[in-house]
Chain A
Amino acid sequence: MAICSAHTTTSLRSPCTTISNTGLRQNQVILFTTRSSRRGSTRHGARTFQVSCTAEKPIIIGLAADSGCGKSTFMRRLTSVFGGAAEPPKGGNPDSNTLISDTTTVICLDDYHSLDRTGRKEKGVTALDPKANDFDLMYEQVKAIKEGKAIEKPIYNHVTGLLDPAELIQPPKIFVIEGLHPMYDQRVRDLLDFSIYLDISNEVKFAWKIQRDMAERGHSLESIKASIEARKPDFDAYIDPQKQYADAVIEVLPTLLIPDDNEGKVLRVKLIMKEGVKYFNPVYLFDEGSSISWIPCGRKLTCSYPGIKFSYGPDTYFGQEVSVLEMDGQFDRLDELIYVESHLSNLSTKFYGEVTQQMLKHSDFPGSNNGTGLFQTIVGLKIRDLYEQIIAERAGVPAEAAKV
């Protein structure tokens, strides 16, 4: 009778929200859910109880990045680590920006635009500008979710540029807010259990947007460049400063392995991890706290041009102590990835090879052969670990020691 087993285990997949009508214990909230009319038919007779535990208040994760900088890919990797596919709400607005899986709900903060596309145009304000966003509503709703309450969240329609009727969002186990400003407003920031910033250098941003847009009718190198440049002042003023608040930053830079490379195909990626964050133990290479430079390619492992280079060590970032793990180059073969994984420690994997398995599972996602995919996967594992520790602590059970 383990309906509320999330209290006592550290498993992410514990059936705490099992649909059941037997075996209820105290300390549980029982919601009698009749299908809401917007979903269609109301079923009589087949009574559905949704059981959720009072301890089961969502943990809140923030992911900040500019548009076109890999937030969606990151989200797909993250939800995959948690298990189960993330999909748009069933039967809702087809243009909804929300993704829901068994454990996780991801919302896009564009839904809190206070000015729609026409409004921004009239006022000469970009979506990056806080004036175009309703932080009061964002705060209220993220707070409500954190307290375990459902919300009626607006939907910003990216195709029409209009605000569509709201959608009902139930509190999940893990609630992710992704977008331009998850750490901008202090009230919202204080609600976050963990935060990530994707920091894409200008060179790489340009290369990625060429890849994304060049085949589009109407776009040219000039238009792609003009768009990046016109948005840059607001980006620098309102988005970029948020990285100082992030618990983990993934910085994407051009490679140093190829002299004067400007193709943006080979990348140098840094994972900057804040020290002293509760429930977050940074990954390390060989010896925690030392400075290490490591070229895995040699006698044991042969790599093709331009090779792979790792470095690791302590550093400061906006005046705070951090650990930085860097990977330059890309994986060409499976054995390179597994070799690297076997030399990293504190990965929060549940079994040997889990990082490699996750990367292979999504080899079609951008960045699966370089540091962006590797570090996104690692951050996903770290968030799973963080969640399990918080749940275990709430249940009064000491967290399991770090695995592998």
Chain B
Amino acid sequence: MASALTGVSLSTPATFAAATARGDRPQVAPARVTLRSMVMGRGTVACRAGGPSTPPGISDKMSESIKEAQEACSEDSASGECAAAWDEVEELSAAASHARDKLKESDPLENYCKENPETDECRTYDS
């Protein structure tokens, strides 16, 4: 497997790059990391982590809303403004998750694996 991977460029979702680039992030790994590899034609191997990452539009809005919620709650954490701000975060987090699911449905590897979960390409590894 090691030799098969030589010279292959691996694409990493943005969330991973962002996670390692941010120093202020707590040292907690994403809850579940799954890795899948797929042999695509002769000698080409694609490998990526987890499912698709959130579209940047929603992702940006969400991290913005988290900052706003933290600010809105700094004065009074029991205020309606604070609750409304965190409610917006929840709404966007749910929208982000739905958007990822939608992308997953249009992913050829995911669809292949739905039909052929037992194949090598579709094995998942929990970290």
A and B physically associate: yes
Q: B32: which of A211, A216, A222, A223 is its contact (CB, 8 Å)?
A: A211
Per-residue A-contact encoding for B75-102, CB less than 8 Å = 1, 0 else: 0010111111111111111111111010
Query: Which of the residues B63, B79, B85, B86 comes within 8 Å of A217, measured between beta carbons?
Result: B63
Known: A216-B15, A221-B28, A223-B66. A120 touches B86 (CB 8 A): no
Please tell me if the beta carbons of B90 and A227 are within 8 angstroms of each other in the complex: yes
A68 touches B114 (CB 8 A): no
CA distance A212 to B32 in the complex (A): 10
CB distance from B9 to the nearest CB of A (A): 22
B-contacting 9-mer, from A125-133, A244-252, A310-318, A395-403: A125-133
Taken residue by residue from 350 to 382, chain A's Cβ proximity to chain B (1 for < 8 Å, 0 otherwise) reads as 000000000000011000000000000000000
Are the CB atoms of B28 and A68 closer together than 8 Å? no
B93–A216 contact, CB under 8 A? yes
Q: How far is the CB of B102 from chain A (nearest CB, A)?
A: 9
Q: How far is the CA of A212 from the CA of B99 in the complex (A)?
A: 12
Counting CB contacts under 8 A, is B108 at the interface?
A: no
Q: For residue A263, which residue of chain B has the nearest CB?
A: B31
Residues of chain B lying within 8 A (CB to CB) of residue A68: 90, 93-94, 97
The answer to whether A230 touches B58, judged by C-beta atoms less than 8 angstroms apart, is no
Chain A residues near B87: list those with CB within 8 A: 120, 126-128, 227, 230-231, 234
- Give the number of residues in A that approach B within 8 Å (Cβ atoms): 39
In the assembled complex, the CB of B89 is this many whole angstroms from the nearest CB of chain A, namely 5
- Closest chain-A Cβ to B71's Cβ sits at a distance in Å of 12
Q: Mark A214-232, 1 if CB is under 8 A from B, else 0.
A: 1111111111001101110
Chain A nearest CB: distance from B124 CB in Å?
11
Q: Determine the distance from Cα of A209 to Cα of B97 in the docked complex, in whole angstroms.
A: 10
Closest partner residue, chain B, to A68 (CB atom): B94
- Across the interface, do B57 and A211 meet the contact criterion of CB distance under 8 Å? no
A67 with B85, Cβ < 8 A, contacts A218-B67, A230-B73 known: no
CB distance from B95 to the nearest CB of A (A): 4
A234 touching B31, Cβ below 8 Å: no
| Smallest CB separation, A240 vs chain B (Å) | 15
Q: Is A278 an interface residue (CB 8 A)?
A: no
Within 8 Å CB of A217, what residues of B?
Answer: 14-15, 18-19, 59, 62-63
**Which positions in B face A, CB cutoff 8 Å?**
14-16, 18-19, 25-26, 28, 30-32, 50, 54, 57-59, 61-64, 66-67, 69-70, 73, 77, 79-99, 101, 114, 117
3 interchain residue pairs of minimum CB distance: A218-B63, A124-B80, A230-B86
16 new A-B contacts, CB < 8 A, other than A124-B83, A210-B31, are: A68-B94, A120-B84, A121-B81, A124-B79, A124-B81, A158-B94, A159-B57, A161-B91, A213-B93, A214-B30, A216-B59, A216-B62, A217-B14, A218-B67, A226-B69, A231-B87
